[in-house]
A = this chain, B = another copy of it.
Amino acid sequence: MVTIADVAQAAGVSISTVSYVMSGKRAISQETRTRVEKAIDSLGFSPHAGARSLASRSTNVIGLQAPLRTGVDVHVVMQIVTGVVTQARKHGYDILLLASDDAKALQRAAKGSMVDALLVMDVESDDPRIETLSGLGHPSVLIGLPEGRRAIPCVDFDFEAAGWLAVDRLVALGHRRLALIGSPPEVMTRHTSYADRLVRGFLAACEASGVTGSVHACPSTTEAVATVDAVMTENPDITGFFVHNEGALPHVAATIGRSARQRGDDLAVLALCPDDVARSVPGLADSIAVPAEGIGAAATDMICEILANGSQPAVRLLPPALTGTPTAP
């Protein structure tokens, strides 16, 4: 293994000079700098991460707790993780992927000085992890927006605004009876924050616009088709569908598309999902994009800023936007 001492010797300077060349924390003459840099390159030196973290009391690693369980939208999770990892690297951080999604895992990483900060996804209201995080002494950011005391900074997509936007769009298209085909029942029941916020925005917007809106939990599996059929049969006057359900989306789009063709109905499907997912669904005209990678990147930016400046920003919600071919009413 090549150490900083080897580099110093090769460059004919002291150890600290090499260290300062790397960190840029003090002025170095152009001449020594090049000499040191050459030595570093030719020896292929990279500093020992452990030694560095021991001496500097910081690891340049951020711990990420991602929900690897099923029932979540894998596309969204993957994209958020991608955003986090990519952005972290830009700030010079690496990502330690935590195994379990309990409070213990957070403590292990923090107390073992394995990470400088923590990024936690899929936090529910009253999640015990929030209290753990507060007591940890490590900066942390939640990806999501749990209800309650708001002790930890949060980054998320503005699902509530998305609910409003969806209703505005469907109403603009001429629909007066709307349905939200939402998350699977288990997500709804868990009161996962994003599901609740979407429903709230959707219903409030329906009321504000004076249209009828109903909300339907929908399994993300085989039963999605049956669920949609049931909704359509029992509420034949619904013409505007707003779908926020990964597994159900293709079925819903197909079912409704077929029904529109067969019965000549003027039905509309508006999806809430990542852009590329929307593009892969046949027959889907518009969608509201969930900027999943952007959420990951924003959360990472926030935590890096806290790490750098000690600033303590509160909540950041990314605004929704319509995508796709806008079919004028």
Contact = CB atoms under 8 A, between A and B. Distances in A.
B86 A99 contact: yes
Contact of A113 (B50, B64, B75, B222): B50
Interface string A45-89: 011111111100001010010001010001101100110011011
A118 to B, nearest CB: 14
A64 B97 contact: yes
B99 A94 contact: yes
A220 B224 CA distance: 21
Contacts of A47: 112
A93 B225 CA distance: 42
A95 interface: yes
Contacts of A221: 279-280
Interface in A190-233: 220-222, 224-225
A108 B94 CA distance: 11
A267 interface: no
A58 to B, nearest CB: 9
A100 interface: yes
A108 B93 CA distance: 12
A294 interface: no
Interface string A94-119: 11111110000000110111100000
A82 B95 contact: no
Interface residues of A, number: 53
Contacts of A1: 113
A169 to B, nearest CB: 21
A254 interface: yes
A283 B238 CA distance: 27
A51 B48 CA distance: 11
Contact of A99 (B52, B95, B111, B114): B95
A319 interface: no
A44 interface: yes
A267 to B, nearest CB: 18
Given A78-B77, A221-B280, A85 B99 contact: yes
A247 B277 CA distance: 10
Interface in A269-306: 276, 279-282
17 contacts: A44-B111, A48-B53, A50-B113, A64-B97, A68-B82, A81-B97, A85-B97, A85-B98, A88-B99, A89-B100, A94-B96, A94-B99, A95-B96, A96-B96, A222-B282, A250-B250, A251-B282
Q: Return the 3 tightest CB-CB contacts between A and B, nearest first.
A: A50-B53, A89-B99, A221-B280
Given A44-B111, A49-B112, 16 more contacts: A50-B50, A50-B53, A54-B54, A68-B85, A68-B86, A81-B97, A88-B99, A89-B99, A94-B96, A94-B97, A94-B109, A94-B114, A95-B99, A221-B280, A222-B280, A224-B282
